[in-house]
A and B are shown apart, each in its own frame.
Chain A
Amino acid sequence: MALAQVVYQITSDADFASRMRSDPERALEERGWSLSKEELAFLVAALRGRVERSEILSLVERKGWTWR
Chain B
Amino acid sequence: MKSELIGSITRAIEKAWAESGAWGDFVETMRQVLSLADESEYCDALSRWLPLPGLCCQAAGGNADSARSVAAAWACLQAAAHAMDQVEDGDPLDGWLRGLEAGEVINAANGLVFTAALILQDLHRDERARQAAGDICSDFYRSLLRMASGQHRDLTCEAPDLQFWMEIAEAKSGAFFRLACRSGARLGTEDRARIEAYGEYGHHVGLLLQLRDDLADMRPGLLEGKSPAALRRSLAVAYAFDVLPGPQRERLSRALDELGMEAMAPTRLVEILDQSGAGLYLRMEIQRMHRAGLEALQRAAPAGAAGDQLVALLDQLSAIQ
A residues within 8 Å of B by Cβ? 1, 3-5, 7-8, 10-12, 38-39, 42-43, 46, 52, 54-62, 64-68
Report chain A residues within 8 Å CB of B236.
56
Q: Which residue of A lies closest to B166 (CB)?
A: A1
Report chain B residues within 8 Å CB of A66.
41, 45, 209, 212-213, 215-216
B contact residues, range: 35 or more
Q: Are B209 and A1 in contact (CB under 8 A)?
A: no
Chain B: minimal CB distance from A4 (Å)? 6
Report chain A residues within 8 Å CB of B291.
38
Chain A: minimal CB distance from B172 (Å)? 11
CB-CB under 8 A for A65 and B316, given A4-B243, A42-B287, A56-B273: yes
Chain A: minimal CB distance from B63 (Å)? 27
Q: Are A56 and B278 in contact (CB under 8 A)?
A: yes
CB-CB under 8 A for A64 and B212, given A7-B280, A42-B287: yes
Q: Are B45 and A56 in contact (CB under 8 A)?
A: no
With the chains together, A23 CA to B320 CA distance in Å? 26
Contact of A56 among B162, B218, B244, B316 (CB under 8 A): B218
With the chains together, A62 CA to B282 CA distance in Å? 13
Interface residue? B274 (CB, 8 A): yes
B residues within 8 Å of A by Cβ? 41-42, 45, 48-49, 82, 94, 162-163, 173, 209-210, 212-213, 215-216, 218-220, 236, 239, 242-244, 270, 273-285, 287-288, 291, 316-317, 319-320
Q: Which residue of B lies closest to A58 (CB)?
A: B279
Chain B: minimal CB distance from A61 (Å)? 8
Listed from nearest, the 4 A-B pairs whose CB atoms lie closest are A55-B279, A11-B277, A8-B243, A66-B216
Chain A: minimal CB distance from B28 (Å)? 23
Q: Are A68 and B279 in contact (CB under 8 A)?
A: no
Report chain A residues within 8 Å CB of B244.
8
Report chain A residues within 8 Å CB of B209.
65-67
Query: Chain A: interface secondary structure?
Result: helix
Report chain A residues within 8 Å CB of B49.
67
Contact of A10 among B216, B280, B320 (CB under 8 A): B280
Q: Are A65 and B48 in contact (CB under 8 A)?
A: yes
Report chain B residues within 8 Å CB of A46.
280, 283-284
Contact of B45 among A12, A39, A42, A68 (CB under 8 A): A68
Report chain A residues within 8 Å CB of B215.
59-60, 64, 66
CB-CB under 8 A for A64 and B288, given A4-B162, A11-B276: no
Chain A: minimal CB distance from B223 (Å)? 9
Q: Are A11 and B213 in contact (CB under 8 A)?
A: no
Q: Are A59 and B284 in contact (CB under 8 A)?
A: no
Q: Are A68 and B162 in contact (CB under 8 A)?
A: no
Report chain A residues within 8 Å CB of B219.
60-61
CB-CB under 8 A for A38 and B277, given A64-B317, A65-B48: no
Contact of B284 among A7, A61, A68 (CB under 8 A): A7
**Apart from the given pairs A7-B243, A54-B274, A56-B218, 11 other A-B contacts in the complex at a CB distance below 8 Å:** A11-B276, A12-B275, A12-B277, A55-B280, A56-B278, A59-B215, A59-B283, A60-B216, A64-B212, A65-B317, A68-B82
Chain B: minimal CB distance from A1 (Å)? 5
Report chain A residues within 8 Å CB of B277.
7-8, 10-12, 55
With the chains together, A7 CA to B277 CA distance in Å? 6
Q: Are A60 and B218 in contact (CB under 8 A)?
A: yes
Q: Are B283 and A55 in contact (CB under 8 A)?
A: yes
Q: Are B163 and A1 in contact (CB under 8 A)?
A: yes
* CB pairs A–B below 8 angstroms (23 shown): A1-B163, A4-B281, A7-B280, A8-B244, A8-B276, A11-B275, A11-B277, A42-B288, A54-B274, A55-B278, A56-B273, A56-B274, A56-B279, A57-B220, A59-B279, A60-B219, A62-B319, A62-B320, A65-B48, A66-B41, A66-B215, A67-B209, A68-B41
